[in-house]
Amino acid sequence: MARLGFFVLVFSFALYGAGVAASASTSNSSTTDYIVASCKATRYPAVCVECLSGYASLIRQNEQHLAQTALSVSLSRAQSAAAFVAKMTQVRGIKPREREAVKDCTENMGDSVDRLSRSVKEFGQMGRAVGQDFMWHMSNVQTWISASLTDQNTCLDGFAGSVMDGNIKAAIRRRVINVAKVTSNALALVNRFAARHRAAAAASTEKP
């Protein structure tokens, strides 16, 4: 009888574990669907989904978490690209014109990383801010993301024209263009979060 009770207990734990796993799987699946739907509001939806789908457990169908995660991913990719660009000045056989473009791009990407870092920190300080406090924090975040995107595009402008064609240009453009797409998407999701937050706040003040 004791043995039967033991097997019943083990079976119960097995069922419970399976239920928890199924619940987590369903939750992540729902969040992934939420991410896919949200990314349709961005300019590069496929890139958006690729960047964010791995963070479903952090996002949890929360628009603020979605925007914050997108912004953090943008910073991470910008840091990686900036480090890569900085190393390009050491490439053997680099031409003087290429070296100057790489130096300028290194500065641009450094500025981009700095501004994204500020925006991530500012977004994190937002918390449950409302009213003018929310507007102030959000305005700073949006301004810095936009400026960061400008820095990235300025880097790319330095390699414009066929005279700059070559392996260095191709390698840098591939990475910086990806960062620019990710940053553009992050800005779109931040803007959407801000707009919906304002709309919800306005609706709540209109209620009797």
How confident is the model over 135-173, as pLDDT tens digits?
A: 999 999 999 999 999 999 999 999 998 878 899 999 999
29 in a domain, yes or no? no
Query: What is residue 27's DSSP assignment?
Result: H
pLDDT at 137: 92
Number of H-type helices and E-type strands within the chain: 7, 0
122 in a domain, yes or no? yes
Structure confidence at residue 21 as a pLDDT band (50, 70, 90):
very low
Instruction: Round to whole Å and give the CA distance between 93 and 105.
Output: 18
What are 115's two structure tokens?
Answer: 């501004």
**Is 160 strand, coil or helix?**
coil
102 in a domain, yes or no? yes
Q: What is the CATH number of the domain that holds 79?
A: 1.20.140.40
The domain tally of the chain equals 1
Report DSSP letters for 45-95, one per residue: HHHHHHHHGGGHHHHTT-HHHHHHHHHHHHHHHHHHHHHHHHHGGG-TT--
> What number of other Cβ atoms are within 10 A of residue 185's Cβ?
25
What does pLDDT average to over the chain? 86
φ, ψ of residue 95 in degrees (nearest 5) = -80, 155
145 in a domain, yes or no? yes
Contact by Cβ (8 Å): 65, 59: yes
Domain that holds residue 145: 61-206
How confident is the model over 95-122, as pLDDT tens digits?
A: 999 999 999 999 999 999 999 999 999 9
Average pLDDT value for residue range 170-198: 95
Contact by Cβ (8 Å): 81, 175: yes
- From the list 180, 114, 182, the residue with the least C-alpha distance to 150 is 180
